[in-house]
Structure 1
Amino acid sequence: MTTVTSPLTGKAVPLTAVPDPVFSQAMVGPGTAIDPDRAPGTAVAPVDGVVVSLHPYAFVVVDAGGHGVLTHLGIDTVQLNGEGFELLAHKGDRVIRGQGLVRWDPAAVEAAGKSPLSPVVALEAGARALSALVESGAVRAGDKLFDWS
């Protein structure tokens, strides 16, 4: 079993609230989303593992069991061309849960006309693979979001 923790501090919301059908319809996998606090902050690793994909707006960490967790920082943020994002790690790095991966400012993302809602997705997981899913309420970076079996 893999426990996935929040990469951000904010408020948990259901994936269905994300304004992008790829996420709201769970096309890449089930999960939840974080409506981040509107202050500069750092997105952290949601699991111990290896960074297999790292962009200013998104990252994937795969744990020892092969579970890949995608964190997407905002919606359509690829269109910002990395502006306002600072990478703190590299593809291929071994990371521990809670380690900073990307520094960003959700308020600046919102000011640029993009949604700061940030999906946290269990890549290629079946809908029934997740348990104890948190889809509402305040969360801090490092708080449990779901278990993946």
Structure 2
Amino acid sequence: MKIAMGADHAGYRLKDELKPFLESLGHEVEDFGCSCGDSVDYPDYAIEVCEKVVSGEADKGILICGTGIGMTIAANKVPGIRCALVHDLFTAKATREHNDTNVLTLGERVVGPGVAQEIVKIWLETDFSQGERHQKRLDKVRAIEEKYALHP
């Protein structure tokens, strides 16, 4: 699986720890930065990762900032992105099964590297439950995106 990753200055250390872990699981990782503690703007990294996911150039995306909140907000502005902020194993599984999320967000200041690895592994290995009730809800989310899409 090809995974696009991005982080701001408050999440780059966790990103740099997760990248070799993902590669050890056999995934290809494209790293969009950042790679230092100098202050940067999280929306810049969120958009790069999300554009790769919606274009199909990446299968999934992982974003990391201090809390995960900012990245999640920015990511969910991109039509076609279903991004979830996850801090535990239960929601890592549920967000894939029920919401078919294609981008995962983590907070470096909230989740340690060991738990983050477990979250990422579960999230990547869990399939979407193709049940009618879950698909019906995703169709409604898509309709919201279409209703509020900006047209040039």
Normalising by the residue count of structure 1, what TM-score does the alignment of the two structures yield? Answer: 0.30
Higher strand share: 1
Greater RCO, 1 or 2 (C-alpha within 8 Å, sep 6+): 1
- Higher CA-based Rg: 2
- Under a length normalisation based on structure 2, what TM-score does the superposition of the two structures give? 0.30
